[in-house]
């Protein structure tokens, strides 16, 4: 290993890196520094080109000369480098240009480059600490990457106190070359890594990240905490979808689609890592709680309610055995209360019975230090965990007494927390991971659509001053096989009457203007218009629009067949482009109150049938679609297909920047899109 910029100067990064490497690294360390003969007793070389057989170069020279030494390293055949030096993309235009040049050099020599602007890398199996931190990592099977170097220093300091060990630790820095996706793929192939952890502030290439993570997560769990909830993009949006979307929704969808377990805090990140590393996966979603106190039992039960776990319902056999062996006052139903006077062996009896129950997938043992010795209890927990091989978490609720018992259950990877809710959440992460392992993401369907016709419709925007499309573009949906009601756009009232006569029953009339985005807001939509009223309604709509916006480009009035809103529900299907993840498809409860209700869910396109179907499950109003209050359930397949067809449309045409179908009226007999709005990047067409 070469340290380019190695030095003896007190306080210099080049010295800390050398000292850390010399403390434990199994291979040879070669200092490179033209101004020194020796560094910390080792012979120093003027240039990396003077040494052969370097596997990894750590670069700590000043930013102005980094690219020069990288060229030399490339020439010398070095393929792996970590650039610790800062002063690149994070620091203004000069730095950004340097980073660009760095990328070109890496490309030219096919270099794996970590950084720049990072803390370095650690790999414990070979004792390598190529960072400038004061603490290294304990050996373990978690591989950890972080976009914040300072956070790594903090984690290393803290983790050794908590007996958490690592296989590799990587400070990602500016991610000029290698990014989170590369490390995920690498660790996915690494048999010494059992859990992958990430602290990420952004994901640059969302779709690629999803693909990389999906390949890995069937075998190795990935847990990520994502910070920085910026709202880039959302403010400029003119669609409903755009207003609700925003990057947090994109990350939520993207990480879920990637099969990544998301931690909401740094504490959860390590809670989940520890339990994934230490415990087996549950056979089912049901959890048993065994406690010696009522209050903590209730807290645990509440935590189960907030999680994806279910309270286990015990078999009759279990209940009978508990009844026989527990004192009369004990509660034998879940949560099992073994009572405040319970010694460790009463816990043992209870655990033997519930862990034997086939309905129980996992268990949490909760104890307050009443008349129990925590060390005895810890022995019991460890023994039962080994005997039954079910995942267990503990909540030994105490201070010193709990800490004193911790080493016993640590031995078998059972975590303990003061707060039982943390234990339940950790077990829930195991459940989530077993679900991820068996997820079949499916492939997006390829519908037979009229792509050419869609292109022609989109190209109409070229002749206009605005890049917006309104209901005059309903035929775009037609081209992609999405059902729309009969309708005609007319430019005088006689034609309006004729059009209404063609349609059976009363009609809906709407202003058609790409400049008027929210038609009903200005009185531009009249529903349930009888034929006799059509002519006067035509005049009303036109004059209201003129009043509202005298210079609006009015294309006419649309006369549309009524959708059956009595039997149907207004939903919304939309798309907004996210800078990181690309096309983000939304499904939710539609109508004019979408932004108020915000009952919506998102997926990164292309969306598969399974994913589209999950989207319906995810919204709070799902029961409205499924026959609440005696109504007939709507045609869910129609909704699922529409989501997928929109996914195909926006994947086929990256020029569509945002799009709303609001409402897509879903009835028991099918779905109908009665309104559309889109923003088009016409320069790209
Ligand atoms: P905008 O969203 O621009 O106000 P819409 O075309 O979505 O205009 O119409 C507003 C509302 O009018 C819809 O949310 C729906 O409640 C009702 N509506 C529109 N078209 C129809 C239709 N064909 N059948 C029944 N109701 C409709
Ligand atoms: Mg609408």
Answer whether 137's CB lies under 8 Å from 169's CB.
yes
Q: Is residue 280 situated within a structural domain?
A: no
Confidence (pTM) = 0.90
- Does residue 345 share a domain with residue 402? yes
Q: Which of 246, 271, 296 is the last residue of a domain?
A: 271
The predicted-structure confidence for 56-96, as pLDDT tens digits, reads as follows 999 999 999 999 999 999 999 999 999 999 999 999 899 99
- What residue owns the CA closest to ligand 1's atom 4? 520
Output the pLDDT for position 233: 42
Output the pLDDT for position 565: 92
Strands 582-589, 392-396: pairing kind: unpaired
Q: Is residue 189 situated within a structural domain?
A: yes
What is the rounded CA–CA span in Å between residue 209 and residue 221?
15
- The domain in which residue 231 lies consists of 2-271
Q: Which tokens sit at 603? A: 């997926």
Q: Is residue 278 situated within a structural domain?
A: no
- Does residue 625 share a domain with residue 544? no
Closest ligand to residue 474's CA: 1
- Does residue 427 share a domain with residue 366? yes
Per-residue pLDDT band at 237 (split at 50, 70, 90): low
Answer whether 579's CB lies under 8 Å from 230's CB.
no
Answer whether 1's CB lies under 8 Å from 27's CB.
yes
CATH code where residue 39 lies:
3.40.50.261
- Does residue 156 share a domain with residue 237? yes
Q: Is residue 359 situated within a structural domain?
A: yes
- What residue owns the CA closest to ligand 1's atom 8? 519
Output the pLDDT for position 249: 87
Is the predicted pLDDT of residue 244 greater than 80, yes or no? Answer: no
> Who wins on pLDDT, 682 or 491?
491
- Does residue 332 share a domain with residue 195? no
Is the predicted pLDDT of residue 192 greater than 80, yes or no? Answer: yes
Q: Is residue 19 situated within a structural domain?
A: yes
Q: Is residue 160 situated within a structural domain?
A: yes
Centroid of ligand 2 to alpha carbon of 533 (angstroms): 23
Centroid of ligand 1 to alpha carbon of 240 (angstroms): 14
Q: Is residue 276 situated within a structural domain?
A: no
Output the pLDDT for position 229: 56
Q: What is the domain count for the chain?
A: 4
The residues pairing with 365 across neighbouring beta strands, listed in sequence order, are: 290, 394
Average pLDDT over residues 319-338: 97
- Does residue 293 share a domain with residue 149? no
- Does residue 265 share a domain with residue 131? yes
The predicted-structure confidence for 373-386, as pLDDT tens digits, reads as follows 999 999 999 999 99
Output the pLDDT for position 441: 86
Centroid of ligand 2 to alpha carbon of 175 (angstroms): 42
Output the pLDDT for position 464: 79
Output the pLDDT for position 364: 98
Output the pLDDT for position 234: 42
> Who wins on pLDDT, 232 or 520?
520
- Does residue 431 share a domain with residue 463? no
Output the pLDDT for position 51: 95
Question: Cβ < 6 Å from ligand 1: which residues?
Answer: 485, 508, 510, 518-520, 525, 527, 560, 562-563, 565, 570, 591-592, 662-663, 674-675
Per-residue pLDDT band at 238 (split at 50, 70, 90): low
The predicted-structure confidence for 555-565, as pLDDT tens digits, reads as follows 999 999 999 99
Centroid of ligand 1 to alpha carbon of 455 (angstroms): 26
**Test site for ligand 1: of 505, 514, 660, 675, most ligand atoms within 8 A of the Cβ:** 675
What is the rounded CA–CA span in Å between residue 298 and residue 420?
10
What is the rounded CA–CA span in Å between residue 538 and residue 533?
9
* DSSP H/E element including 17: helix 13-22
Mean residue pLDDT of the chain comes to: 94
Average pLDDT over residues 271-282: 96
Q: Is residue 277 situated within a structural domain?
A: no
Average pLDDT over residues 165-186: 96
Give helix 636-652 / helix 451-459 axis angle, nearest 10°.
Answer: 60
Helices (H), 291-419: 294-305, 316-325, 344-356, 374-388, 400-410
The predicted-structure confidence for 95-154, as pLDDT tens digits, reads as follows 999 999 999 999 999 999 999 999 999 999 999 999 999 888 999 999 999 999 999 999
Q: Which of 228, 244, 271 is the last residue of a domain?
A: 271
Phi, psi (deg, nearest 5) at residue 391: -70, 130
Residue 169's nearest CA partner among 40, 77, 273 is 273
Closest ligand to residue 674's CA: 1
Atom of ligand 1 nearest to the CA of 561: 23
Output the pLDDT for position 342: 95
- Does residue 571 share a domain with residue 636? yes
Output the pLDDT for position 403: 94
Q: Which of 523, 542, 562 is the last residue of a domain?
A: 562
Tokens 């360390």 map to which residue?
A: 29
């Amino acid at each position: 290993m070469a340290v380019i910029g190695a030095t003896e100067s007190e306080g210099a990064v080049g010295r800390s890196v050398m000292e850390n490497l010399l403390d434990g690294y199994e291979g040879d360390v070669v200092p490179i520094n033209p101004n020194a003969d020796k560094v910390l007793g080792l012979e120093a070389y003027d240039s990396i080109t003077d040494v052969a057989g370097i596997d990894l170069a750590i670069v700590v020279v000043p930013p102005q000369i980094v690219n020069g030494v990288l060229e030399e390293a490339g020439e010398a055949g070095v393929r792996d480098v970590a650039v610790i030096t800062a002063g690149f993309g994070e620091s203004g235009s000069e730095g950004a240009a340097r980073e660009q040049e760095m990328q070109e050099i890496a490309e030219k020599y096919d270099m794996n480059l970590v950084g720049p602007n990072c803390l370095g890398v650690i790999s414990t199996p070979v004792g390598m600490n190529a960072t400038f931190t004061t603490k290294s990592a304990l050996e373990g099977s978690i591989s950890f990457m972080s976009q914040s170097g300072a956070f790594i220093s903090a984690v290393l300091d803290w983790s050794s106190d908590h007996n958490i060990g690592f296989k590799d630790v990587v400070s990602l820095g500016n991610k000029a070359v290698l990014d989170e996706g590369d490390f995920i793929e690498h660790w996915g192939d690494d048999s010494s890594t059992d859990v992958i952890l990430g602290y990420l502030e952004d994901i640059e290439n969302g779709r690629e990240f999803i693909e990389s993570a999906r390949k890995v997560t069937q075998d190795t769990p990935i847990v990520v905490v994502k910070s920085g909830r910026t709202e880039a993009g959302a403010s400029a949006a003119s669609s409903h979808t755009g207003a609700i979307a925003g990057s947090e929704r994109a990350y939520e969808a993207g990480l879920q689609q990637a099969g990544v377990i998301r931690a909401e805090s740094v504490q959860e990140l390590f809670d989940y890592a520890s339990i994934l590393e230490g415990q087996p996966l549950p056979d089912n979603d049901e959890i048993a709680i065994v406690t010696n106190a009522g209050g903590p039992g209730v807290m645990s039960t509440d935590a189960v309610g907030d999680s994806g776990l279910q309270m286990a319902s015990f078999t009759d056999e279990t209940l009978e055995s508990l009844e026989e062996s527990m004192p009369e006052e004990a509660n034998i139903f879940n949560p099992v209360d073994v009572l405040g006077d319970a010694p460790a062996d009463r816990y043992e009896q209870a655990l033997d019975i519930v862990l034997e129950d086939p309905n129980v997938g996992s268990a949490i043992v909760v104890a307050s230090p009443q008349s129990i010795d925590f060390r005895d209890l810890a022995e019991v927990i460890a023994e039962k965990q080994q005997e039954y091989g079910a995942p267990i978490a503990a909540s030994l609720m105490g201070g010193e007494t709990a800490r004193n018992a911790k080493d016993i259950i640590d031995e078998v990877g059972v975590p303990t927390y003061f707060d039982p809710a943390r234990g339940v959440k950790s077990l829930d992460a195991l459940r989530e991971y077993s679900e991820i392992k068996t997820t079949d993401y499916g492939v997006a369907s390829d519908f037979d659509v009229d792509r050419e016709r869609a292109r022609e419709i989109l190209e109409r925007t070229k002749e206009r001053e605005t890049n917006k499309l309104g209901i005059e573009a309903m035929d775009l949906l037609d081209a992609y096989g999405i059902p729309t009601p009969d309708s005609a756009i007319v430019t005088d009232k006689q034609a309006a009457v004729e059009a209404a006569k063609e349609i059976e029953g009363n009609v809906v009339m709407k202003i058609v203007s790409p400049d008027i985005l929210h038609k009903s807001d200005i009185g531009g939509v009249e529903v349930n218009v009888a034929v006799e009223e059509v002519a006067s309604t035509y005049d009303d709509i036109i004059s209201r629009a003129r009043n509202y916006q005298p210079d609006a480009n009015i294309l006419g009035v649309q006369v549309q067949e009524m959708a059956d809103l009595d039997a149907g529900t207004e939903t919304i299907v939309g798309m907004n482009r996210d800078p990181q993840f690309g096309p983000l498809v939304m499904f939710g409860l539609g109508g004019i109150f979408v932004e108020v209700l915000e009952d919506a869910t998102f997926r990164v396109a292309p969306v598969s049938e399974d994913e589209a179907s999950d989207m319906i499950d995810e919204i709070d109003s799902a029961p409205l679609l499924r026959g609440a209050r005696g109504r007939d359930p709507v045609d869910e397949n129609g909704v699922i297909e529409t989501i997928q067809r929109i996914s195909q449309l926006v994947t086929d045409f990256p020029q569509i920047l945002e799009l709303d179908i609001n409402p897509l009226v879903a009835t028991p007999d099918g779905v109908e899109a009665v309104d559309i709005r889109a923003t088009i990047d016409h320069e790209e067409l």
